[in-house]
Chain A
Amino acid sequence: MPPETGPSAARGAANARRVEAMATAARRRRRLQRLLPWLVILGSFLLWEAVVRGFAIDAFILPAPSAILASMIQWWQPLLENAWQTLMTTLIGFGLAIVFGLLLGVAIGSSALLYHGLYPLLIGFNSVPKVAVVPILVIWFGIGTVPAIITAFLISFFPIVVNVATGIATVEPELRDVLRALGARRTDIIRKVGLPRAMPYFFASLKIAITVAFVGSILAETVGSNSGIGQLMMLASSRFDVPLVFAGLMVTAIMGVAMYAVAVAIEERTTGWAMRGQADQGVASVPGG
């Protein structure tokens, strides 16, 4: 190799500068990517505020974010208590959905017979609007927490079953053959290949399930309950306290995003192998996580 002098050395230095510039640009982009969700949220609130003030919209029609914030501060105690109630209701229903969704998903995914037998029933069941089920649940269990838990369970159960079943049913035949050729039992194949293989599907479904679980519990609270964010919003709207209704919505949205972020964090930790190369682009991450 000739000594690095003259034009070749200059070119080397220029290349080094270019690499350095690219790294800086990448860093800047990552920082922007982290900040962007917050900027968007802040921006939309500012726009909202400006529209409400600019067009002098009545708080009864659309309260400004500042009015909602004031309402949140004024009513922080009932908001917190009812949010806690809703969160617990949702999490219990969601937990039940995880347990039964996993069990049924594994069963359906690993047996073509069960799949064909149960799938139409499941689809039919999922097509029933849950708002129509709540009154029946209230008749059975009375006004209170139980109908809300069951509604959260019913609504979040289906995506988990479908995803887990898909994950297990689509195991590559070669992977199955590797174990079959060793004389593995059916349960071995499900445990060692099916379940790990279904985990990315399972976590993807959790992200959907947790958000719809909130829909279920709040739905039930608005129809028949004596506590929870849903019931608080019903009370507020019957008193025409629209800012408080919106405050309830805000609290629900915050809880939803927070739970989603928890699901994503668990997902990234347990199924990193399925997300290779995407982690550093932050494709799956979410603000508040």
Chain B
Amino acid sequence: MAAMERPFVEIDGVSLRYGGAEGTLALRDVSLTVGRGEFVAVVGPSGCGKSTLMKLVSGLWPSSAGSVIVGGREVDRPLPLVGMAFQNPTLLPWRSILANVMLPLEVVEPHRRRLRGERAAYEEKARRLLAMVGLAGFEAKHPYQLSGGMQQRASLCRALIHDPQLLMLDEPFGALDIFTREDLWSQLQGVCLTLKPTVILVTHDLKEAVYLADRVLVMSGRPGRILVERRIPFPRPRSLDDSYRQDFQDLVHELRDHINTARKGEERPDAA
């Protein structure tokens, strides 16, 4: 995809140390690029700095060294062209689902200015997004009236409502049961095939990574480094049945071996 064009996300030699010079080194010399419209999954053992990577790219944390460039611009603060979804749905409990989905519009320009005048059009857009993930009819409900999976779908809609060019998903399905998760994979794939955003997905579920991504990056244990990069050749749309095919399973196994190596490296005390 988009081989000659300048990559949309360029992370170059980034390190991050929490808590000053003596603090924990969370990331060490990480470099990666994500092309426009590409879906990249980052996998790794727990505590390897995957979520830290998300914080860096979204501008929530500054890096200690190296540069993060998104859309040709150095990230020095949060960028409105990014949409985020986390492991917890983080919906505002006092707002209806529709109002929750529309929250970014009240913050991000130029929607913020237009919202008052064109509320109906924006509401229609939010309803369309909700319908896309099977939440039509739940617009007026409050988050506590929805199941965890439904809340997570609403959270996904919220991440997409302001047409972000970059979608950052931090273990978005981590807290869901396997059936709901598989359901949401195909819905996320559908949404991505329609809207074609650039996506960075952080996950610890290898099957999820292989199912969804164009490219999978394996990170080492803390401090995190990119160990392996693997292109996923399967054509889209991928179905759940595809995930039981031998070549799919082999790929998951191959990644699994890399993770095992990564975890062994972590257990050596001198690795810290």
B179 within 8 Å of A (CB atoms): no
Distance (Å) between the CB of A7 and the closest chain B CB?
36
Contacting pair B90 A178 (CB below 8 A): yes
With both chains docked as a complex, state the minimum distance between the C-beta of B100 and any C-beta of chain A, in angstroms: 10
Taking CB atoms, residues of chain B closer than 8 Å to A192 are 92, 103, 106-107
A80 on the interface (CB 8 Å rule)? no
**Residue of A at shortest CB range from B96?**
A273
A188 CA / B108 CA spacing, docked (Å)? 11
Q: Does A258 contact B (CB under 8 A)?
A: no
Residue A21 at the B interface, CB < 8 A? no
Residue ID in chain A nearest B55 by CB atoms: A177
CB distance from B90 to the nearest CB of A (A): 5
User: B104 touches which one: A175, A182, A196, A276 (CB < 8 A)?
Assistant: A182
Kindly state the interface size class of chain B when it binds its partner.
20 to 34
Query: Does B86 sit within 8 A of A, measured CB to CB?
Result: yes
Q: Which residue of A lies closest to B80 (CB)?
A: A183
Main secondary structure of the interface of B (DSSP, over half): loop
| Contact in complex: A196, B94 (CB < 8 Å) | yes
CB distance B108 to A181 under 8 Å? no
Instruction: Tell me if A254 counts as interface (CB < 8 A to partner B).
Output: no
Q: Assess whether A126 is interfacial by the CB under 8 Å rule.
A: no
B82 interface residue per 8 A CB criterion: yes
Give residues of chain B (231-263) contacting chain A, Cβ–Cβ below 8 Å: none
**Per-position binary interface string of chain A over residues 70-92, scored 1 when its CB falls under 8 Å from any chain B CB and 0 otherwise:** 00000000000000000000000
Contact with A along B77-98 (1 / 0, CB 8 A): 1111010101010101111000
A contacts with B, residue count (CB < 8 A):
21
Q: Are B92 and A182 in contact (CB under 8 A)?
A: no
B60 at the interface (CB under 8 A from A): yes
Contacts of A271 in B (CB 8 A): 94
CA distance A197 to B91 in the complex (A): 12
Q: A50 at the A/B interface (Cβ < 8 Å)?
A: no
- The yes or no answer to A199 lying at the interface (CB within 8 A) is yes
Instruction: Tell me which residues across on chain A come within 8 A of B107, comparing CB atoms.
Output: 179, 182-184, 188, 192
Question: Chain A 267-281 against B: per-residue CB contact (8 Å), 1 yes, 0 no?
Answer: 000010110100000
Which residue of chain B is the closest to A177 with respect to CB atoms?
B60
**In this assembly, does A234 line the interface, its C-beta being within 8 Å of a C-beta of chain B?**
no
Question: For residue B109, which residue of chain A has the nearest CB?
Answer: A183
Whether B18 sits at the interface, judged by CB under 8 Å, is: no
Known: A181-B78, A183-B79, A192-B103. A273 touches B93 (CB 8 A): yes
How distant is A272 from chain B, measured CB to nearest CB, in Å? 9
| Contact flags A147-180 to B (C-beta < 8 A → 1, else 0) | 0000000000000000000000000101101111
Say whether A193 faces chain B, with CB atoms less than 8 Å apart.
Answer: yes
List A contacts of B162 (CB < 8 A): 182
A-side residues, CB < 8 A to B, are: 172, 174-175, 177-184, 188, 192-193, 196-197, 199, 271, 273-274, 276
- Other 16 A-B pairs with CB < 8 A, given A172-B90, A192-B107, A274-B94: A174-B86, A175-B90, A177-B84, A177-B90, A179-B103, A181-B59, A181-B168, A182-B104, A182-B162, A183-B79, A183-B107, A183-B108, A192-B106, A199-B94, A273-B94, A273-B144
Sample of 12 A–B contacts (CB below 8 Å): A177-B84, A181-B58, A181-B59, A181-B84, A181-B168, A182-B80, A182-B82, A196-B92, A197-B94, A273-B144, A274-B93, A276-B142
Q: What are the 6 closest A-B residue pairs judged by CB atoms, nearest first?
A: A184-B107, A183-B78, A273-B94, A174-B90, A182-B107, A181-B84
